[in-house]
């Protein structure tokens, strides 16, 4: 068997950042263009600040953004984009309106022209808005039948209380009340270049791509609105919130813990502590409740960042009959990471994973575009990757242990379980105080 | 309509060779990012699992991660992730894939890991029982505990097909999963996981000569075992329309999906390709035929999608397969009305042809989708391994945008004309959770 020993790793070369250029246009739009010519395409991301926008209107606006301009119908917009291999779509998070798209590289100018028309000359035609409104109502209704959505809704409510982040999906009734004129007004008020960031990545020459963006979007002007969201409240630990879903064959276990922003000096250590606990497959939590106990398929934890605050979220769908034991193991693993330093080897493994996946994330046009756009919305640029990689490389075992004790302690957690209350309430109540809640 | 855009192509180099033990290898170097993708694909999938063992191909995929001669349980995951990489596997109708994406310096480690389990996984009672539990939770997450679970990929095959290999539930019944034994697993491995029945592909940042040496070093001593005879799962097309309907107790709104058989994706690729384009003409974006008609104009559906292959793996599936259309409807939606309108639109297409520019813009958008997928190392390693396995033509990946661009209006019209109601299998979802 001597021939069959695990080969050593060849150390990574120095992190190489792609060529890029950046310019802030007179109207206030920042354009970042990044060259990755591997395939003859271009990726586009546009983030427009949308904090504190009225939720139902903002959500419908994101669904109806491409329904028409002064000169083009929704079908014409889609057909013209397709003609250059393109497509654009929009979404919303609590901080931003996000436009995502891509096209054949030769179609960049045309895609930008169409985007400019949508941004500066929107029509929100009554008929098309009515169609999108009904579709959105139906989609929300379907979402409200999905356990993952219901569990998240209950968790956000529990975490954020009266803060704007507490509700991120409007009720169908609220959507039904939105009129096209309100979308036009919201668009005029909030879809502004000031504070917005456009990211272009692909088989492009960065300076030329920025010139093209300036040509197309130079006419997009107007001051931004103060969309600053107040800082998120501290998590307030308390009884486990149990939301009844009669007949459910699985329980959706969710926990929120405090976390740090990407620029905090302790962030890299927290990221490593999270990995060791539950942030990747080879973590204690996954090896315990999946690979040892078989309670669940895909448990995972991640650090979520919003502009006004960050949180660490743990999520697992567990069989109804092992809901209590799953909570027990989760509390145990949190207690262990908060009380004892991680092992040398498991920390090195997590560190290599963090550093390696950072490279994987930069290896495609779409990956770079998502990363650059997300970073930009927090005021960061791709060169932050170097700093972050250095922090990950140098975080000591003591530092990770110290941060884990502060942030991953089970006493700091806010817990929500969505499941068949009749079956899971007593086993959960054996471990902690339980109160009933709603999604 | 804008001037027609030229459809570009990729030129990923392709090196192919076969080891003495029969393992077929594809190397496709590209040094634009310091990462590599490694995939190993075995020529066995859901259609080959025996009666009474539904879900076994997928369960066995899980067992391939549970250790091998030189790897304890959990070691595979730790070695990949501890090298900065990610991994997974997936079970399809006709093949099962295993893959890693890693920083370039970890290539040899990934090759070692794949070779070790190709020589044989550690099949133990304890690991089997553990993974049966995990798979049951996977089925609960994806099928039993959510609305529209398994719709339509598990719901349509029993309507359109007659024979067990094509019609059965590929996720498996709990009874079948629970009765699986270690001996079943050993026999499945012995029969199907021969290196002569597998392909290995490596994509990304590596040197061909060095990688060839590494592959020889790690896979060269995997014992040669011949591939089993390739089964033929062909069955006759439907003679009359078939319908099924079921109540989904978790679904709040109705839905419907239909499938039509299409030409052999491998034996008659020229006949098959127009259906790939047709699916996009019908459903890709707001300017497509069915979105414009059903979603925008009639408002009889809230969304509609169309694709080839029950798992959407249009260029990685064998005969028999189908073109699928699926639609979600608003409250009180009428599936018959939706089907009638689809027939009307297909008639309009087959009698009136395409509008100016309609084919070109659809082809351009498909090209973007295809090219975008290949930007990721895994988007090359995986399809090339499957194309080698099923066609001996991994370089087809480079050619697809061009071939899609050569499909003619006459071919689209003929394909649309073949989607007749009497060749259609339909499954309808009755919402059991309607407010």
Q: Which two tokens stand for residue A139?
A: 């989609």
Residue A7 in any domain: the answer is no
3-class DSSP assignment, residue B290: helix
CA B233 to chain A, closest CA, distance in angstroms equals 32
- Same structural domain, A171 and A310: no
Write the DSSP assignment of B146-174 as a string of letters. STTTTTTTTTSHHHH--SHHHHS-SS--H
Residue A35 in any domain: the answer is yes
- Same structural domain, A266 and A399: yes
Whether residues A6 and B251 touch (CB distance < 8 A) is answered with: no
CA A40 to chain B, closest CA, distance in angstroms equals 7
Q: How far is the C-alpha of B255 from the C-alpha of B251, rounded, in Å? A: 9
3-class DSSP assignment, residue B377: coil
- Same structural domain, A295 and A432: yes
Whether residues A105 and B8 touch (CB distance < 8 A) is answered with: yes
On the CB side of A332, CA atoms within 13 Å amount to 11
Domains identified in chain B and CATH numbers: 15-219 (3.30.830.10), 242-431 (3.30.830.10)
Each residue of A162-210: pLDDT tens digit? Answer: 999 999 999 999 999 999 999 999 999 999 999 999 999 999 999 999 9
Number of separate domains in chain A: 2
Each residue of B266-324: pLDDT tens digit? Answer: 999 999 999 999 999 999 999 999 999 999 999 999 999 999 999 999 999 999 999 99
Residue A159 pairs in a beta bridge with none
- Same structural domain, A85 and A196: yes
- Same structural domain, A107 and A66: yes
Q: Provide the residue count of chain B.
A: 435
- Same structural domain, A192 and A298: no
Q: Say whether pLDDT at A216 is over 80.
A: yes
- Same structural domain, A141 and A249: no
Residue A227 in any domain: the answer is no
- Same structural domain, A254 and A369: yes
Q: Which one of B286, B292, B301, B358 makes the best mutation probe of the A interface by having the most chain A beta carbons within 10 Å?
A: B286
Q: How far is the C-alpha of B36 from the C-alpha of A353, rounded, in Å? A: 15
Q: Say whether pLDDT at A108 is over 70.
A: yes
Q: How far is the C-alpha of B266 from the C-alpha of B264, rounded, in Å? A: 5
Contact B215, B399 (CB under 8 A): no
Contact A85, A40 (CB under 8 A): no
Q: Which two tokens stand for residue A187?
A: 């668009």
Whether residues A39 and B138 touch (CB distance < 8 A) is answered with: no
Confidence band (pLDDT; 50, 70, 90) for A3? low
pLDDT of B3 reads 58
pLDDT per position in chain B (435 positions), as tens?
Answer: 445 789 999 999 999 999 999 999 999 999 999 999 999 999 999 999 999 999 999 999 999 999 999 999 999 999 999 999 999 999 999 999 999 999 999 999 999 999 999 999 999 999 999 999 999 999 999 999 999 999 999 999 999 999 999 999 999 999 999 999 999 999 999 999 999 999 999 999 999 999 999 999 999 999 999 899 999 999 999 999 999 999 999 999 999 999 999 999 999 999 999 999 999 999 999 999 999 999 999 999 999 999 999 999 999 999 999 999 999 999 999 999 999 999 999 999 999 999 999 999 999 999 999 999 999 999 999 999 999 999 999 999 999 999 999 999 999 999 999 999 999 999 999 999 965
- The H or E element containing residue B354 is none
Q: What residues of A are in contact with residue B111 (Cβ under 8 Å)?
A: 7
Tell me B71's DSSP state. Answer: B
Nearest chain A Cα to B86, which residue?
Answer: A357
Query: Could you give the angle at the alpha carbon of A209 between the alpha carbons of A204 and A213, nearest 5°?
Result: 150
Q: What residues of A are in contact with residue B127 (Cβ under 8 Å)?
A: none
CA B131 to chain A, closest CA, distance in angstroms equals 7
Range of the domain at A329: 240-437
Q: What residues of A are in contact with residue B109 (Cβ under 8 Å)?
A: 6-9
- Cβ contacts below 8 Å, chain A against chain B, sum to 258
Contact A328, A349 (CB under 8 A): no
Q: Check which CATH number belongs to the domain holding A400 and give it.
A: 3.30.830.10
CA A244 to chain B, closest CA, distance in angstroms equals 14
Whether residues B109 and A7 touch (CB distance < 8 A) is answered with: yes
Option in B87, B138, B364 nearest A85 (CB): B364
Whether residues A297 and B137 touch (CB distance < 8 A) is answered with: yes
- Same structural domain, A35 and A88: yes
Whether residues A1 and B69 touch (CB distance < 8 A) is answered with: yes
Q: Which one of A364, A371, A389, A424 makes the best mutation probe of the B interface by having the most chain B beta carbons within 10 Å?
A: A364
CA B405 to chain A, closest CA, distance in angstroms equals 12
Q: What residues of B are in contact with residue A72 (Cβ under 8 Å)?
A: none
Whether residues A141 and B252 touch (CB distance < 8 A) is answered with: yes
Q: Which of residues A152, A186, A217 is at a domain's end?
A: A217
CA-based end-to-end distance of chain B: 45
CA B5 to chain A, closest CA, distance in angstroms equals 6
Whether residues A37 and B32 touch (CB distance < 8 A) is answered with: yes
Option in A39, A293, A352 nearest B375 (CB): A39
- Same structural domain, A55 and A194: yes
CA-based end-to-end distance of chain A: 56
Residue A88 in any domain: the answer is yes
pTM of the complete model: 0.97
Q: Which one of A112, A139, A281 makes the best mutation probe of the B interface by having the most chain B beta carbons within 10 Å?
A: A281
User: Under 8 Å CB-to-CB from B170, ≥6 apart: which residues?
Assistant: B46, B49, B54, B55, B57, B58, B91, B93, B154, B157
> Cis ω on the peptide bond leading into residue B320 (within 30° of 0)?
yes
Nearest chain B Cα to A319, which residue?
Answer: B137
> Cis ω on the peptide bond leading into residue B152 (within 30° of 0)?
yes
Q: Say whether pLDDT at A249 is over 50.
A: yes
- Same structural domain, A195 and A73: yes
Contact B380, B400 (CB under 8 A): no
Q: How far is the C-alpha of A346 from the C-alpha of A349, rounded, in Å? A: 5
- Same structural domain, A31 and A161: yes
Q: Which two tokens stand for residue A265?
A: 């000096």
Nearest chain A Cα to B294, which residue?
Answer: A131
Option in A76, A138, A366 nearest B253 (CB): A138
Alpha carbon separation from A181 to A143, A173, A227, A370, A398 (Å, rounded):
27, 18, 21, 32, 58
């Amino acid at each position: 068997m001597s021939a069959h020993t695990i080969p050593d790793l060849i150390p990574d070369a120095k992190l190489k950042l792609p060529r890029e250029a950046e310019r802030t246009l007179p109207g206030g739009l920042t354009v970042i263009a990044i060259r990755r010519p591997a395939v003859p395409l271009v990726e586009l991301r546009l983030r427009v600040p949308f904090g504190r926008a009225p939720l139902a209107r903002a959500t419908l606006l994101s669904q109806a953004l491409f329904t028409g301009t002064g000169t083009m119908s929704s079908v014409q917009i889609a057909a013209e984009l397709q003609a250059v291999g393109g497509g654009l779509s929009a979404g919303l998070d609590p901080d931003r309106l996000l436009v995502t798209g891509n096209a054949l590289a030769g179609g960049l100018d045309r895609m930008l022209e169409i985007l400019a028309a949508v941004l500066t000359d929107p029509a929100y035609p009554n008929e098309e808005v009515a169609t999108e409104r009904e579709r959105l109502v139906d989609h929300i209704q379907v979402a409200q039948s999905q356990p993952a959505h219901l569990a998240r809704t209950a968790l956000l409510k529990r975490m954020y209380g009266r803060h704007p982040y507490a509700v991120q999906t409007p009720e169908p009734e609220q959507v039904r009340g939105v009129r096209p004129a309100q979308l036009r007004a919201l668009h005029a008020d909030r879809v502004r270049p000031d504070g917005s960031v456009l990211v272009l990545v692909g088989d492009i020459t960065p300076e030329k791509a920025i010139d093209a963006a300036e040509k197309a979007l130079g006419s997009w002007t107007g001051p931004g609105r103060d969309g600053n969201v107040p800082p998120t409240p501290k998590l307030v630990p308390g009884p486990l919130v149990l939301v009844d879903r009669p007949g459910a064959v699985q329980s959706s276990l969710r926990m929120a813990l405090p976390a740090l922003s990407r620029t905090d000096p302790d962030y890299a250590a927290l990221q490593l502590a999270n990995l060791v606990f539950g942030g990747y497959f080879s973590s204690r939590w996954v090896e315990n409740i999946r690979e040892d106990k078989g309670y669940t398929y895909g448990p995972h934890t991640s650090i979520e960042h919003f502009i006004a605050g960050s949180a660490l979220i743990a999520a697992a769908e567990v069989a109804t009959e092992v809901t209590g034991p799953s909570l027990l193991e989760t509390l145990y693993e949190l207690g262990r990471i908060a009380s004892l330093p991680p092992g040398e080897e498991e920390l090195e493994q997590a560190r290599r994973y963090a550093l390696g996946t950072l490279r994987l994330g930069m290896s495609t046009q779409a990956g770079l575009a998502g990363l650059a756009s997300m970073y930009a919305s927090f005021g960061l640029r791709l060169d932050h990757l170097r700093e972050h990689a250095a922090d990950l490389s140098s975080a000591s075992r003591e530092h990770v242990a110290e941060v884990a004790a502060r942030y991953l302690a089970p006493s700091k957690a806010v817990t929500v379980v969505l499941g068949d209350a009749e079956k899971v309430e007593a086993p959960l109540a054996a471990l902690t105080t339980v109160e009933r809640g709603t999604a | 309509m804008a001037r027609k855009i030229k459809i570009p192509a990729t030129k990923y180099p392709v090196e192919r060779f076969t080891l003495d033990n029969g393992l077929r290898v594809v190397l496709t170097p590209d040094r634009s990012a310091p990462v590599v993708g490694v995939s190993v694909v075995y020529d066995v999938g859901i259609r080959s699992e025996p009666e009474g063992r539904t879900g076994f191909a997928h369960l066995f995929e899980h067992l391939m991660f549970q250790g091998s001669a030189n790897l304890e349980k959990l070691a595979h995951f730790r070695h990949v992730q501890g090298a900065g990489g990610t991994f997974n596997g997936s079970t399809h109708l006709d093949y099962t894939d295993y893959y890693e994406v890693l920083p370039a310096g970890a290539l040899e480690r990934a090759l070692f890991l794949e070779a070790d389990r190709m020589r044989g996984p550690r099949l133990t009672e304890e690991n089997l029982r553990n993974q049966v539990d995990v798979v049951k939770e996977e089925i609960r997450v994806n099928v039993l505990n959510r609305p529209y679970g398994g719709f339509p990929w598990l719901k349509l095959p029993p309507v359109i097909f007659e024979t067990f290999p094509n019609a059965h539930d590929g996720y498996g019944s709990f009874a079948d999963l629970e009765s699986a034994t270690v001996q079943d697993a050993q026999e499945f491995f012995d029969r199907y996981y021969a290196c002569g029945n597998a392909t290995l592909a490596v994509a990304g940042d590596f040197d061909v000569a060095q990688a060839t040496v590494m592959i020889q070093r790690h896979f060269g001593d995997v014992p040669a075992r011949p591939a089993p005879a390739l089964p033929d799962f062909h069955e006759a097309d439907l003679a009359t329309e078939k319908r099924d309907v079921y109540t989904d107790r978790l679904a709040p709104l109705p839905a419907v999906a239909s499938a039509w058989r299409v030409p052999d994706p491998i034996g008659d690729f020229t006949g098959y390709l127009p259906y790939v384009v047709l699916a996009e003409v019908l459903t890709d974006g707001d300017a497509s035929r069915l979105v414009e008609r059903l979603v925008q104009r009639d408002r009889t559906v809230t969304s509609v999608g169309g694709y080839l292959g029950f798992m959407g793996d249009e260029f990685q599936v064998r005969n028999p397969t189908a073109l699928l259309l699926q639609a979600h409807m608003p409250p009180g939606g009428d599936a018959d009305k939706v089907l009638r309108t689809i027939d009307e639109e297909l008639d309009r297409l087959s009698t009136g042809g395409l509008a100016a520019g309609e084919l070109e813009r659809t082809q351009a958008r498909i090209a973007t989708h295809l090219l975008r997928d290949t930007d990721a190392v895994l988007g090359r390693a995986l399809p090339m391994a499957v194309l080698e396995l099923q066609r001996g033509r991994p370089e087809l990946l480079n050619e697809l945008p061009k071939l899609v661009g050569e499909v003619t209006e006459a071919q689209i019209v003929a394909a649309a004309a073949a989607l007749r109601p009497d060749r259609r299998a339909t499954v309808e979802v009755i919402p059991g959770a309607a407010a």
